[in-house]
Structure 1
Amino acid sequence: METRSNHVLVGTVVLILLAVLALFTVWIARLGGTSEKEYDIFFRQSVDGLAKGSAVTYSGVPSGQVKEIALWRPDPQYVRVRVAVNEQTPILQGTTASISASFTGTSTVALDGARKGAQPIACPEENRRQLCPYDVPVIPTKQGGIGAILNSAPQLLERLSTLTERLTGLLSDRNQASIAGILDNTNRLSDALADRGPEIAATLAQTRVAIQQAGDAAQSIGQLAQTTNGVLAEDVKPAMANLNKAILSAQESAETLNAAVGDARPGLQAFSKQTVPEVGQLVRDLRVTAASFASIAEKIDQQGAGSLVGQQKLPDYKGK
């Protein structure tokens, strides 16, 4: 009995020591580890390849793991993903989450985009129930590479179908014949250009000569223009000076003539007011005198000189 009691006592002591060792190990692990913070992410896309325990990275650095994946009951279009991230990870305002797929088929939650100096993401006091439906902060999402491809897959397939139809129409028998004709014409044109190669080379050489001659002519015209400017500067300027002197002399003569006319103006006015009427009266008197002389001459011619001194003879009276 005593031996059995000793075995029980030893076993009990050993169990107690093992329990203490386990508790000490857990305490050391917690002491050396870091605390975590939980966040919710609502993805409006497929989360294929993502599972509980999948890694969470921040700018490629492992920072946590996925704790829970479930459909969001209020709106089944969204998938709620609960992640636990190391408390030291800077989950600040501007941080976004996306799903990053790999060739092995597994996916990870990728976080990035925090702004320097921004406040940490937390549940606000106002509209807390609406913005934090499960009492943990919510990280907004952005479409990753695979998510964008999956969401745009229908449009991509539709565009590929349209492109295929257009290519089919473009490569019809009629269009193929037209393309073949265009290629034949291009070949003939290439052959013709190859045959005319020497003539084209000669034409290009003549064109170079013509361009060079045009350049020489332009240079000669420039020199002629410079010579013309020199002639104008040397010969025309003295002639213009002489012409200016002649114009000044003519102006002085015109001013002298105007002064003379001004001085003679009073005499001209007196002549026009006094002498001209007297001359008119004299002319009228001369006309009267001339008429009298004409009458006398006519009388002498008809009756003789005696008619000027004797009385005019009356005609003889004859009775009936």
Structure 2
Amino acid sequence: MERDAHYFLVGLFVIVMAVAGFFFAGLFYDKPSTATAVYDIHFDTPVEGLEKGSEVRYMGIKMGEVSEVFLLPDNPVRVGVRIKLEVRTPVNAATVATLRQQGLTGVPFVSLAQDSSLESEPLSVSAGNAFPVIRTKLTDMDAVIQQLPNLEQNLSKLVAAANEVFNTENREHLAGLLKNLHEASAGLPQLIANLNQTSRELKVLVEHLDGAVQRSEQGLAGNMKALQSTLASIKQTSQRVDKLVQDIDRVVVNNEGRVNELLGEGGENLKAVLDESRKAAVSVRQLSERLEQNPSQIIYQPVPQGTELPR
């Protein structure tokens, strides 16, 4: 009887401990504290490693998990991923989903972010879908992988073009060109030395010419002063001659009868002399005026004007 009571106490203790364990497990169980919203994502690329329970992060923060991974019935080459997010997650029409790998372990997860090029309108359910569909965006690596076929094709064209350019004939021409360039460049140092020597000689010549011009200008300035003085004397002389001729002419006119009687036939000669003297005085005065206005015409001949007609 005592043995049965002992077994009864042991069984009762086990039952109590089991109930207590379940009770404490229920207290510490991580129950969802907020409501969730369901969204679909349609990937055009394989989602290797992504499965139910994988994390869904918004801007790097865990906001939900993957609830289902399936193939789209109308397009078997596309993969549908259904996710559950906390209702406070700011999902809209500008939200894009990217499949990424976590650290060195390579565990995939879904990353959500906002695309600034899209308008942030409310995301609604489109026709033919049970839940709102979030846009997808390729990662940088996926974009590079997608461009690899085009890159390979472009590289093939580039190699073909390079082979066509560097054929045997063109390589021979290029080799000859390089040889000619090498031969031409061999004489460059001597050519440069000759140019330097020529420039130095030109500099010395310019200095000599500059000195000669300065000396010529000084001499020309002295000659111009003397010429101006001479012109002033010529002008005064012409004025005196002109006045003298006018006086003689006036005397002759006033005493024409007496002069004719005194000189006889020589009166006509005196008149001719007076006329020639008057003309000479006028010519001297005009010459002095022209020289006074432009003394350089003594040195430089005037440039002929007009147009020469063919004979």
Q: TM-score range by the shorter chain?
A: 0.5 to 0.7
Q: Look at both structures and tell me which one has the larger radius of gyration over its CA atoms.
A: 1
SS at match of 1:47: coil
What's the secondary structure of 1:152's corresponding residue? Answer: helix
Q: Distance in 2 between matches of 1:39 and 1:211?
A: 90
Structure 2 counterpart of 1:84:
84
Percent identical residues: 26
> What is the aligned partner in structure 2 of residue 59 from structure 1?
59
Show the counterpart of 1:149.
144
What do the CA deviations read for 1:95-136 (whole angstroms, capped 9, x no partner)?
A: 11223357855544332225699454343xxxx542xx2x32
Distance in 1 of aligned mates of 2:64 and 2:165: 54
Partner of 1:23: 26
> For the Cα contact (< 8 Å) 1:51–1:69, is it kept in 2?
yes
Secondary structure at the residue paired with 1:88? coil
Matched pairs, number: 205
Residues of 2 paired with 1:205 and 1:100: CA distance? 73
Distance 2:112 2:157 in 1: 37
TM norm structure 2? 0.54
Contact 1:100/1:145, CA 8 A, preserved across alignment:
no
Counterpart amino acid of residue 168 in structure 1: N
8 Å contact kept, 1:49–1:106: yes
Runs of 5+ in structure 2 lacking a partner? 210-311
Relative to its length, the structure with more strand (as a share) is: 2
CA offsets 1:205-245 (integer angstroms, 9 cap, x no match): 689999999xxxxxxxxxxxxxxxxxxxxxxxxxxxxxxxx
Name the structure 2 match of 1:112. Answer: 113
1:190 alignment partner in structure 2: 185
Q: Which residue of 1 aligns with 2:156?
A: 161
Secondary structure at 2:184 match in 1? helix
Aligned to 1:174: 169
Find the counterpart in structure 1 of residue 195 from structure 2: 200
Indicate how the Cα distance of structure 1 residues 93 and 185 shifts in structure 2: closer, same or farther if over 3 A, else same.
Answer: same
Please give the alpha-carbon distance, in whole angstroms, between the structure 2 residues aligned to 1:153 and 1:129: 35
Contact 1:92 1:114 (8 Å CA) reproduced: no
Instruction: Report runs of 4+ in structure 1 exceeding 6 Å deviation.
Output: 205-213
**8 A contact 1:69–1:81 mirrored in 2:** yes
Q: CA deviation at 1:19?
A: 1.5
Spell out, residue by residue over 1:62-115, the C-alpha distance to the aligned partner (whole angstroms, 9 max, x if none): 444433322211111311122333443322231112233578555443322256
Which residue of the partner structure matches residue 11 of structure 1? 14
Residues 101 and 2 of structure 1: is their aligned pair in 2 closer, same or farther, counting only changes over 3 Å? closer
Task: Give the aligned partner of residue 71 of structure 1.
Answer: 71
Contact 1:101-1:146 within 8 A present in 2 as well: no
Mapped partners of 2:97, 2:173: distance in 1: 54
- Where does structure 1 lack aligned partners over 5 or more consecutive residues? 214-320
Tell me, in whole angstroms, the C-alpha distance in 1 between the residues paired with 2:26 and 2:181.
89
Partner amino acid, structure 2, of 1:143: L
CA distance in 2, matches of 1:16, 1:170: 87
User: What is residue 43 of structure 1 aligned with on the other side?
Assistant: 43
CA distance in 2, matches of 1:72, 1:210: 93
Cα distance in 2 between the residues matched to 1:75 and 1:64: 26
